[in-house]
Amino acid sequence: MRAPNEVARAFAWLLCALNLGGLLTASYIANFVEEPSDVLNIITFAFFVLACAVLGALVAAKRPTNPIGWILSLVASFGAVAGLVSTFIEAHPTSLGEPGSLADWVGGFIWTLTFVPMIFVVQLFPTGRPPSRRWIPALWLTGAGMTCAVVAYAFAPGPMENSIDPALNPFGIERLRGQLRALSVVGGALIVASVVLAVLSLVLRFRRSVNVERQQIKWFAYAGLVVLGALAVQMVVFSIVPETDILVDVSNALFSLTITLIPITIGFAVLRYRLYDIDRLISRTLAYGLVSTILIGAYLLAVLALQSLLPLNDDSPVIVAASTLAVVAAFGPLRTRIRMLVDKRFNRSRYDAEKTIAEFGVRLRTEVEIGSLSDDLVGVIGRTMQPAHVSLWLRPGD
């Protein structure tokens, strides 16, 4: 008889294979779509589902008692179904005002089932349990919100708003129109409240965490901040540049790619793979993000200043070349300075280690007594590497 863990591993990889099979089937059906409306979004969403399927299976196989891996696998399953339904609807569209097919009906609520379970991941990350028993009602709140939203979308009469086709809901209940509309509002409110509580629980867990758990939460928070940053950039771009179909598709595709970071970082954190690299990753992201922002602003200001000072046309290549050279010249020193400031604030251990090694290098030039030098070297290694034990062996002279 197979052990429970072996059965769980086999089931996790079987579920992963089924999810990948669903993605391949959706890709095959897409061949029958003459003009896909959003190819980029389909491809990037497939990356998200693929990441959830593979990393969910890895986490479930390695940590079968942790529900996070199973939730990611479930998200991948719903995502695969959403891909199948979407491609089938585009290959077999329904005319406006006609009753929709079963695929249209499933497409009306499958997206809620695809993304809302990620709230459970936030509430349970990284241990697979809520921070305390007092947070268990938040899980029930999320489940209730998801159930209300799915029921409301599934049985609301009239055109299906969340489906690709504006077809009529074949299972809509006309006499419950008002109640289902109210249920939809309640479900949306519960989901929003669940998101707020999930973030609060993660913040509380981070404040109480130490060592490994703190690093795990940093990985997850890093992905969340990248997603929020992508949203902010998207809003800024659309406030400056007029919206076009191509720009919207590209923007949504890039945002879908950033969402893929969430299951990837969850896999790193739960499996504890390269866990302590997160401080360096955060500091580098902040440093290069600040450098890019400052240089772009400096380039725009330089172009405007040169246009007003020099008797040249606004589109003169001299102005562009001069501004570009100035930005390139400032890149190196600015990057070094900002990296030091960011490391000092967000990657303090690495900053302190570099400072300690630099001070030791200065003392090394003047120190001649072997005993003091040995003690100094052991102290530097202890402060920078922080090993459990350190000793120095010197080969005796001839």
Residue 266's pLDDT is what?
84
CB atoms within 10 A of CB 288: 14
Residue with tokens 């290098």: 361
pLDDT exceeds cutoff 80 at 304 = no
> For the chain, which residues make up each domain, given as ranges?
4-209, 287-346, 350-398
Could you give the percent of the chain with pLDDT greater than 90? Answer: 12
Question: Residue 371: what residue type?
Answer: G
pLDDT tens track for 139-174:
999 999 999 999 998 888 887 766 666 678 888 888
pLDDT tens track for 49-95:
888 998 888 888 888 888 998 999 999 999 999 888 888 887 777 76
Q: Across-strand partners of 168?
A: 99, 159
pLDDT tens track for 85-125:
888 887 777 766 677 778 888 888 888 898 889 899 989 98
Helices (H), the chain: 4-30, 39-62, 67-91, 102-107, 110-115, 118-124, 136-155, 177-208, 211-240, 245-259, 261-271, 278-309, 317-346, 348-364, 370-385
pLDDT exceeds cutoff 70 at 40 = no
Residue 319's pLDDT is what?
63
Decide which of 362 and 70 is more confident.
Answer: 70
Most confident region among 188-197, 349-358, 362-371 by mean pLDDT: 188-197
pLDDT exceeds cutoff 60 at 314 = no
